[in-house]
Structure 1
Amino acid sequence: MLFPVPSLDAADRRVLDEVESMRHELRHQVRAVPVKWAEGLRKFLTADAVAASNSIEGFRVSTVDVADLMEGERDVEVSEENREETLAYQRMMTYIQTLHDVPDFSYGKGLLNGLHWMLQGHRHTAGKPAGQWRRGPVYVTDARDPSIAAYTGPDAHEVPGLMAELVDWLNAADEAHPLVRAAMAHLHLVSIHPWSDGNGRMSRSLQTLMIAREGVLAPEFSSIEAWLGRPGNTWEYYRELGARGPAYRPDQDVSGWIRFNLVAYHQQAQTVRNRLRRSGQVWTALADFAAGGRLDERVISALHEVALSGRVRRLRYEHAEGLSKQQAQRDLRDLVAAEVLESVGRTRARYYTPGPRFPTGALEVARTPMSLIDPYRT
């Protein structure tokens, strides 16, 4: 038995309509911006989702470090464990993003276990197999006291039947809105807890996949994983899951879970919209600066990365502009000589930050905090 999908009240429907409006607006805005700029934003949002979802599980790597690891940088100061977890999650997320428009797509045991192997294959052991349903009990410990089980998953012998039911539900069509179905899929999977480890990230990834399959907005702009990874939101996430009780009880009203997710959808759409607008303002300011200083137009992408992320590495600039290593090195060296950038570190670990002559207007726009509203309080 799975949780029943709750009915939406008038406030829920209003919030959902606002989310839909913002997502359709974002779709048109993304199509209208320069390709380089949109690609950079996609990479940032993917890195932010990976960093946030991993941080919920205790693997803490900053978004800018995740972005560097995704680009192929080797000299990033993170532990080997965090590096492995980041790259594994990134590979799985990349695959999920490619599934958004597959015409003969269907959900199945093989797909879910295959995704789990991408995520947990590097941790596979006889006691905790990756890509297979668990063979024993599983517990979620209390964050305040690891000796207390905050949640105990269904018995292992129930998992195959529950997962078969979930797969059937995923492939079936019903009247629920796709965003509501995606939130319910997250709850179903995290509550069944079918694997020995990695259940939280798999559940959040399934939600992302279902949103991507809906097709309104590219998956990079759709995921709420970055929102869930913010510290205050993470505690609310734990609290909302904890409200379901210490054991699997699908015969209950989960309206609170849906409202929590509608807030997440709404505020993440606000965040992406604000970042898109801010990115455009920064790009315009840097384009004017480059034109006034007779700089090559291609350096704007490097300066844009510095303004929004705080730094850029040669490899990322090289890939963004399709340059040779020598061309990228020369451009960055010239920007350092002009005091637009400052060089930090040596050889392959070197990165670049704003220099004394970096345009202050662009930095002021990039560093202005954004405000978010709670859609249920307006």
Structure 2
Amino acid sequence: MLFPTPALDDLDRKVLDEIEQMRADLRYQVRQVAVKWTEGLRKYLTADAVAASNSIEGFRVSTVDVVDLMEGERDVELSEDNRDETLAYQHMMTYIQTLHDAEDFSFSKGLLNALHWMLQGHRHTASRPAGQWRRGPVYVTDPRDPSIAAYTGPDAEDVPGLMDELVNWLAEDNGTHPLIKAAMAHLHLVSIHPWSDGNGRMSRSVQTLLIAREGVLAPEFSSIEAWLGRPGNTWEYYRQLNDRGSRYQPDQDVSNWIKFNLTAYHQQAQTVRNRLDRTRSVLGLLTDFVTDEGLDERLVAALHEVAMTGKVRRLRYEHAEGLSVQQAQRDLRELTSAGILVSVGRTRARSYIEGPRFPEPPLTAARTPTSLIDPYRA
């Protein structure tokens, strides 16, 4: 048995309408920005989702470091565990994103286990198999006292039947709004807890997959994982799951879970919209700056990265502008000599941050915080 999908009340429907309108507006706004800038934004949003979802499980890697790993940087100062988990999750997320418009797509137990192997294959052991249902009990322990089981998953012998039911539910068109269905899929999967490890990240990823399959926005704009990874939201996320009980009890009202997810969708759409607005503002200011300084317009890419993320590395700039290694190095040396950037670190680990002559207006535009509206309190 799975959790019944609750009916929406009037306020839920109002919030859902606002989310749909914001997502439609975002789709239009993204089309008004040059492809190379939206590609950079997509990469950042993917990295932010990976960093946030891993942080919920205790793997701490900054979004900028995830971007560097995605670019192929080798000299990123991370523990081996953090590096392995980041790359595994990023590879799985990249594959999920490619499925958003796959024509012959279908949900299956094989697909879910294959995704799990991509996530956990590097940790596969006989006692904790990756890409296979767990063979014994599974517990989510209380972070304050590991001797206490905050949640105990269903018996292992019940998992295959529950996953059959879940896959059939995912495949059917039951008229549920895609965003609501995605939220319910997350709850179903994390509650069944079918694997020995990685259940939280798998559940969040399957939610992302369903949102991406909706097709309104590119998949990189669709995830709420970055929102879930913010400390206050992570606490509320755990509270919502704890409210479901310490054991699998699907015969209950989960309306609050739906409201929590609608809030997440709404505020993540606000966050992406705000970042897109900042990107456009910063680009305009930096374009004016390089023109006034008599610099090549391609240097805007390096300066934009510094303004938005705090630093740029040669490989990131090289890929963004399609340059040779030598040309990228010359450009960054030119900006450093002019005092616009400052070089930190050595050789392959070198990065560039703002220098004394970096223009202040784009930094202000990039770093001025914005407020988020709680749609249920607005």
TM-score band (shorter)? over 0.9
> CA deviation digits over 1:86-142, x for unaligned, max 9?
000000000000000001100001100000000000000001000000000000001
**Alignment check: 8 A CA contact 1:116 1:202 kept:** yes
- Count of residue pairs the alignment pairs up: 378
**Alpha-carbon distance in 1 for matches of 2:140, 2:234:** 15
TM-score, structure 2 length as denominator? 1.00
Distance in 2, matches of 1:98 and 1:155, equals 34
CA contact (8 A) 1:22 1:269 kept: yes
- Name the structure 1 match of 2:377: 377
Give the deviation of 1:294 after TM superposition: 1.1
Gapped runs of 5+ residues in structure 2?
none
TM superposition outliers: structure 1 runs of 4+ over 2 Å: none
Give, as a single letter, the amino acid of the residue that structure 1 aligns with 2:315.
Answer: L
Query: In structure 2, what is the equivalent of residue 255 of structure 1?
Result: 255
Q: What does 1:14-163 correspond to in 2, within 5 Å?
A: 14-163=14-163
- Distance apart, 1:171 and its partner CA: 0.4
Q: Which runs of structure 2 are paired with 1:197-216 in the superposition (5 Å)?
A: 197-216=197-216
Moved more, 261-270 or 288-297: 288-297
Instruction: Please tell me whether the aligned partners of residues 152 and 246 of structure 1 are also in contact (alpha carbons under 8 angstroms).
Output: yes
Tell me, in whole angstroms, the C-alpha distance in 2 between the residues paired with 1:59 and 1:191: 22
- Aligned match of 2:338: 338
C-alpha RMSD of the superposition? 0.5
Letter in 2 for 1:146: P
2:169 counterpart of 1:169: yes
The answer to whether 1:191 aligns with 2:191 is yes
Letter aligned with residue 112 of structure 1: L
Task: Report the equivalent of 1:309.
Answer: 309
SS in structure 1 of the partner of residue 358 of structure 2: coil
1:291 aligned partner, one-letter code:
T
Shift of 1:32: 1.0
Distance in 2 separating the partners of 1:264 and 1:211: 13
Displacement of 1:58 after TM fit? 0.2
**Mapped partners of 2:342, 2:225: distance in 1:** 33
Separation in 1 of the partners of 2:98 and 2:49? 16
Give distance in 2, aligned partners of 1:312 and 1:221: 23
Q: Deviations over 1:205-243 (max 9, x none)?
A: 000000000000011111000000000000000000000
CA distance in 2, matches of 1:184, 1:142: 24
Separation in 2, partners of 1:251, 1:326: 63
Given residue 299 of structure 2, which amino acid in structure 1 is its aligned partner? V
What is the one-letter code of the residue matched to 2:129?
P
Displacement of 1:146: 1.1
Whole-Å separation in 1 of the counterparts to 2:98 and 2:302: 27
Q: Is the 8 A contact 1:48 1:226 kept in 2?
A: yes
Q: How does 1:260-275 map to 2 (within 5 A)?
A: 260-275=260-275
Does 2:221 correspond to 1:221?
yes
Q: Structure 1 unaligned segments of length 5 or more: list them.
A: none
Corresponding residue number in structure 2 for 1:289: 289
Kept in 2, the 8 Å contact 1:186–1:203? The answer is yes
Classify the secondary structure of the residue corresponding to 1:197: coil
Amino acid at match of 1:323: L
The residue type equivalent to 2:294 in the other structure is R
How far apart are residue 175 of structure 1 and its match?
Answer: 1.5
Paired AA for residue 366 in structure 2: A
Q: Distance in 1 between matches of 2:281 and 2:332?
A: 23
CA distance in 1, matches of 2:252, 2:212: 28
CA contact (8 A) 1:69 1:87 kept: yes
Question: Displacement of 1:256 after TM fit?
Answer: 0.4
Structure 2 Cα separation of the partners of residues 358 and 195 of structure 1: 50
Task: Answer whether contact 1:36 1:301 (CA < 8 A) is retained.
Answer: no
Kindly state the Cα deviation for residue 370 of structure 1 after the two structures are TM-superposed: 1.0
| TM-score scaled by length of structure 1 | 1.00
Q: Which residue of 2 aligns with 1:357?
A: 357
Alignment deviations for residues 130-178 of structure 1 (CA, whole Å, 9 cap, x no partner): 0000000000001221110000000000000000000000000012110
